[in-house]
Amino acid sequence: MSFRGSIRTVRISAALLCVFGAGVLIREFVRFPVVFPGAGALAVALELPLVLIGFALLRRLRPTRAPALKWSAAALVWGGAAATGCALLANQGLTGLWAKGEGVTFASDWSAALTAPLNEEVLKLCGVVMIALAAPLVINGPLDGLICGAITGLGFQAVENVTYGLNSIVMSGGTSPDRAVLDSALLRVGSTGLGSHWTMTAVAGAGVGYLIRHTRRRRLMREGSGTGYRGPQPAGRSPAVLGRDLLAAAGCLATAVGMHFLFDAPGDLAIAIKVAVNFSIAAVLYLMLSAAFLRRAREHLAAEAAAGLVGADEAGSVLSRRRRRRQLRGIQEPAERDRLLARQRDILTELDAEAA
């Protein structure tokens, strides 16, 4: 199969899985908007600010430029459709098994902590892998994976919040549907929103990013060794660095599962502490990866400038969104502006791969 054929197969499969997940959700919740139309609309409306603001902020987190809008939206849809719908079925199955095997009291306390981290983290993570397969330039390393994962988790979180809001109508006996939905949203957006799914999948997504960087660099090393070249390897392609990437990938995936377990586990630990722990882990990882990305980007640009491949002005301005815009605004001639824009994009695309 050709490269384009394989890409098309992945994209069609991902779309079908999203349709399947959405179908599961619709089948499960379709009666709510019929019986409680106002509360149903409210449950969705209350999540819109979270989705819109979260989506914009998470995309803005990426240094130099935001990830492609189309693939960011795809990550959001995967989280909200494929992952959520499949998780609904998987969780029902595994929760039932815990109750049958260990008893209803044990399951009442522990089934969420022993079910969701396994099912939900894997299903959300599949979305990050699908995007890496469907659009190979989108995820080049851990930072791209972190942002793609965070957006996938955000989609999952928003749709899960809607389903919790709808279920809270039932759990409150339908006596005050709007109040039940509002209380649920306040708790899940206002109280736990900062440390919920988006943080867990951000960390897991970084793990996928490490894995992608590891496999690409290993492939490049193999291709290099095939030419008979025995000299020093480029930075980041030594066996030690490759091994570190693999270890980091495993560490990120285990940490994400651990974060989810902590979040759902029963016990006396206050929910505010759980939220703070998850948020801090995601924030520290982001700051580390972002700083490392920018450092590698500056080093690469300096090397390119020294070789005369990039102008000193370009090297100084291309990493900053504001300076790039200022450069473009300073050019009156449309054709010249398009040329500069294309040049900036080329440099940034190269940096995405080299600094990943």
Partner 1 sequence: MVADQARQPPGGASPQARLRWLLIVVGVMALLTAGWPLLNAAVADKQKLAAHASLQVGPGGTDSASVSVGQGWFVRPAETDPSQAYVLRRGAVTISIGYVSLAGRYQAARLWDGLRRVFRVTNPGVSLGQPAAVTSGQGRKGLSATAASASSAGAVSAFVGPSGTYAIQIVTLAPRSARLAAEADSSQLIRSLRFPAARHARTARTARRAPAGAQSPTAS
- Looking at residues 203 to 262 of the shown chain, list those that interact with partner 1 (rule: CB under 8 A): 215-220, 223
Q: Please say which residue, 331 or 341, places its beta carbon nearer to partner 1.
A: 341
Q: Please say which residue, 91 or 196, places its beta carbon nearer to partner 1.
A: 91
Q: Which residues contact 170 (CB under 8 A, 6 or more apart)?
A: none
**What is the rounded CA–CA span in Å between residue 242 and residue 355?**
15
Minimum CB separation from partner 1 for residue 277, in Å? 25
Binders of partner 1 in range 80-119 (CB under 8 A): 82, 86, 89-97, 99-101, 103-105, 107-108, 118-119
- Type of residue at 60: R
Q: Is 143 in the site for partner 1 (CB under 8 A)?
A: no
Only one of the segments 150-158, 248-256, 314-322, 343-351 lies at the binding site for partner 1 (rule: CB under 8 A); that segment is: 343-351
Q: Which of 61, 73, 133, 294 binds partner 1 (CB under 8 A)?
A: 133
**What is the rounded CA–CA span in Å between residue 105 and residue 153?**
30
Centroid of chain to Cα 82: 14
Q: Please say which residue, 3 or 230, places its beta carbon nearer to partner 1.
A: 3
Q: Is the Cβ–Cβ distance between 255 and 206 less than 8 Å?
A: no
**Residues touching partner 1: how many (CB under 8 A)?**
76
Q: Is 169 in the site for partner 1 (CB under 8 A)?
A: yes
Minimum CB separation from partner 1 for residue 283, in Å? 25
Q: Is 184 in the site for partner 1 (CB under 8 A)?
A: no
Residue 153 tokens read as 């988790």
**What is the rounded CA–CA span in Å between residue 265 and residue 284?**
23
Minimum CB separation from partner 1 for residue 254, in Å? 17
Q: Is the Cβ–Cβ distance between 144 and 209 less than 8 Å?
A: yes
Q: Is 274 in the site for partner 1 (CB under 8 A)?
A: no
Angle, vertex CA 206, rays to CA 215 and CA 129, nearest 5: 60
Q: Is the Cβ–Cβ distance between 140 and 279 less than 8 Å?
A: no
Q: Is the Cβ–Cβ distance between 219 and 174 less than 8 Å?
A: no
Q: Please say which residue, 54 or 141, places its beta carbon nearer to partner 1.
A: 141
Q: Please say which residue, 119 or 255, places its beta carbon nearer to partner 1.
A: 119
Q: Is 158 in the site for partner 1 (CB under 8 A)?
A: no
Binders of partner 1 in range 14-43 (CB under 8 A): 17, 31-32, 35-36
Q: Please say which residue, 195 or 352, places its beta carbon nearer to partner 1.
A: 352
Only one of the segments 2-10, 241-249, 286-294, 327-335 lies at the binding site for partner 1 (rule: CB under 8 A); that segment is: 2-10
Instruction: Give me the phi and psi of 6, to 5 degrees please.
Output: -70, -35
Minimum CB separation from partner 1 for residue 237, in Å? 9
Q: Which residues contact 339 (CB under 8 A, 6 or more apart)?
A: none
Among 207, 210, 205, 235, CA closest to 220: 235
